[in-house]
Each structure stands twice: as structure tokens, then as C-alpha cells.
């Protein structure tokens, strides 16, 4: 009999340096009131120069394993959701595997924008369900400050740096763990949220650097319109197809991109604001890092989850990519 995967442990890493809205006021034409009213963000964390994604991912992974009292040599696979790897290759998963000394693990990076962690989580869960692996480390980690133009007020206010990790294992008891998921992509969104250069289509050159094509490009209105509709839809549908309602839910953990998108999703699901986990005000959008960092808040900081609680996680990102996951906590 196959076992559902469950989250045994969590870990996170947040850089110490804080970049507040008032700091941004000195860098670009914006202000605290405008940022808070439109996004809900008050500050974000920024990784020190010279430290890459693997630095954060490794530290989140080590805390996750330490909390479970699991030796890195027990890990079977490592999946890192990210769009800001240390370098094109090797994969960040390889660097994490080396740095934590997970000598028996294999792994890979998964690119799905802000949906990276949700996609990586369900991929790892299916590895567990297939019966091939007992311990899969799933990490969401992004150094968004490395690809943000701090002269572009439309994007620089939105993003921060951070990493979160979870350890997946077979759930000892039927009816618990990761029960269901919905994942979607629509390549039409590639025109609205992307990095224009740096890949094989437009390799790095003096011209692409001068044109600032290695930074995040976003048409905010189009992204917002699509995200509100689709993230809310999959969040509601995952409950409906499992015979649940918002009343059955203990916690909704949404991707932390914009407070208005979060509110729209919660309303579509019919859940009260107190069931929605929000930390966007402190950390901004850490891309693949948002949901595992939220999980850390729920479990370690706030202790909001107990056995039997239903949880929905939902994300939306570049691609477009989006999806939702239903868990019953064990």
C-alpha cells in the first residue's frame, strides 16, 4: 500500500539585513503609504553581496533536518524550487547536497517562478507515494535582490530574499499528509512576467546589460488580473473536489505576492481572515520561499497546526504557473 507524504519538519533562513519602505523612499520615487496600500509590504530581507542562493538554501535545509533529528546522510533526494540559482549549472540542489553532506542523495532544481515550492512539494510527495524514497528534502529559495532593478519602482518594492525547507516522509497513518493537488501552467503569461535576457535566446552581452534585460520585467496589471482569478479558483476547487468547505479549513497558506490577491483568494474560498497566514508585511515576495517560510511561521513561531487540521497552500507565478495543495496535518 502506498503512503501519502507528510511534512515532518521545517526550516528557514532569512537574511539579517532589512530594507524598509522608508529606505526605498531614498532610492526611488515611491513612499511607504503607496507601497502598503497596494501590496501590504512594509519591509523585506536582503542577502549580503557575495552570498548566493545555496547559502540560504543550505541553512534552511540544515535547520529542517536538525529539527527532525535526521542526519543528512539519510536524505534520498533534494529538490530546490528557484529562479535565482547560484549559476546556470551545476544545479543549486548539487551545491546544497555537497554543503550539507547528504552523500546518498540525488536531486535537481525546479523552475516555476513563485509556484516553485508548490510544484517541488508535489513532485517530492509523488516520489514518496511511489515507494522509492523515504526522505525527500524540498526547498524553496530565492535571492530576488540579485535580479531586481532598484531604479524600477514597479518591481523593486515587491521582492525580498529568503529560503524555507521541508522534509517529506511517508505518513504513518492513512488519511493524513498531502492528500491532493492541482497544478496549472499557461505559457501566454511568459510575455508579462519574465527576464528578457541571459538564456540561450538572448545570451548576456554588453547590449543586454545596458538595456537592463537581466532584471525582472513585469506588466503588473496583467499579472494581477490573471493571478486574482486563477489562484482563487484553484484554492476553491481543491476544497470542492475533496468535499470540503472553508469552514473545514484550519489554515490557508497563500503565496505572499500581494495582499489584494490573498484577500480575493480567501473570499473565493469562503474563509475568515483569521484563517489566512500572512507575513508579506515583514518579508515581501520571496518567490519560491514564501510558502515554506509561512509554514515555518505556522508551526514554529505560532504553533497553529495540530493533528487533523486541514491546510491549503496556493501559489501563482511566472510562466504563468499556479497551483494548490491540500494537506491534512499529521
Do 318 and 114 meet the contact criterion of CB atoms below 8 Å apart?
A: yes
Is residue 255 among the annotated active site residues?
yes
Alpha-carbon gap, residue 34 to 12, rounded angstroms: 29
Is residue 22 among the annotated active site residues?
no
Is residue 285 among the annotated active site residues?
yes
Alpha-carbon gap, residue 237 to 242, rounded angstroms: 9
Of the residues 53, 255, 258, 294, only one is catalytic, namely 255
Residue 269's SS3 state is helix
Of the residues 94, 114, 156, 294, only one is catalytic, namely 114
Which string of DSSP letters, residue by residue, matches 204-267?
--HHHHHTTTTSEEE-HHHHHHHHHHHHHHHHHHHHHTTT--GGGEEEEEE--S-HHHHHHHHH
Residue 121's SS3 state is helix
Q: Please name every residue paired with 5 in a beta bridge, in sequence order, or none if there are none.
A: 170
- 192 CA to centre of own chain: 20
HEC profile for 30-59? CCHHHHHHHHCCCEEECCCCCCCHHHHHHH
Of the residues 64, 171, 285, 294, only one is catalytic, namely 285
Distances (CA, A) of 1 to 6, 116, 170, 209: 16, 29, 11, 54
Angle of helix 53-68 relative to helix 92-100, nearest 10 degrees?
50
Q: Which residues are the active-site residues?
A: 114, 255, 285
Amino acid at each position: 500500500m502506498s503512503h501519502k507524504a507528510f511534512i515532518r519538519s521545517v526550516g528557514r533562513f532569512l537574511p539579517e539585513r532589512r530594507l524598509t519602505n522608508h529606505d526605498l523612499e531614498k532610492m526611488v520615487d515611491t513612499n511607504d503609504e503607496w507601497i502598503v496600500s497596494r501590496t501590504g509590504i512594509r519591509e523585506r530581507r536582503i542577502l549580503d553581496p557575495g552570498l548566493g542562493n545555496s547559502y540560504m538554501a543550505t541553512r534552511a535545509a540544515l535547520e529542517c533536518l536538525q529539527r527532525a533529528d535526521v542526519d543528512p546522510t539519510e536524505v534520498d533526494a533534494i529538490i530546490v524550487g528557484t529562479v535565482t540559482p547560484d549559476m546556470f549549472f551545476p544545479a543549486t540542489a548539487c551545491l546544497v547536497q555537497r554543503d550539507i553532506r547528504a552523500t546518498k542523495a540525488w536531486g535537481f532544481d525546479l523552475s516555476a517562478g513563485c509556484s516553485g515550492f508548490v510544484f517541488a512539494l508535489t513532485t517530492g510527495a509523488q516520489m514518496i507515494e511511489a515507494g522509492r524514497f523515504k526522505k525527500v528534502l524540498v526547498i524553496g529559495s530565492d535571492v530576488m535582490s540579485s535580479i531586481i532593478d532598484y531604479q524600477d519602482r514597479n518591481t523593486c518594492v515587491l521582492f525580498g530574499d529568503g529560503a524555507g525547507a521541508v522534509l517529506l516522509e511517508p505518513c504513518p497513518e492513512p488519511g493524513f499528509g498531502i492528500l491532493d493537488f492541482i497544478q496549472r501552467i499557461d505559457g501566454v503569461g511568459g510575455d508579462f512576467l519574465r527576464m528578457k535576457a541571459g538564456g540561450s535566446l538572448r545570451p548576456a552581452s554588453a547590449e543586454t546589460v545596458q538595456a537592463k534585460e537581466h532584471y525582472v520585467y513585469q506588466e503588473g496589471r496583467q499579472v494581477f488580473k490573471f493571478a486574482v482569478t486563477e489562484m482563487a479558483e484553484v484554492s476553491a476547487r481543491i476544497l470542492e473536489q475533496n468535499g470540503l468547505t472553508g469552514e473545514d479549513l484550519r489554515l490557508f497558506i497563500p503565496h505572499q505576492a500581494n495582499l489584494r490577491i490573498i484577500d480575493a483568494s480567501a473570499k473565493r474560498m469562503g474563509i475568515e481572515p483569521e484563517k489566512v497566514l500572512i507575513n508579506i508585511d515583514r518579508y515581501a515576495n520571496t518567490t519560491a520561499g514564501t510558502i515554506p517560510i509561512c509554514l515555518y511561521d505556522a508551526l514554529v513561531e505560532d504553533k497553529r497546526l495540530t493533528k487533523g487540521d486541514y491546510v491549503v497552500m496556493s501559489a501563482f507565478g511566472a510562466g504563468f504557473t499556479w497551483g494548490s495543495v491540500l494537506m491534512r496535518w499529521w
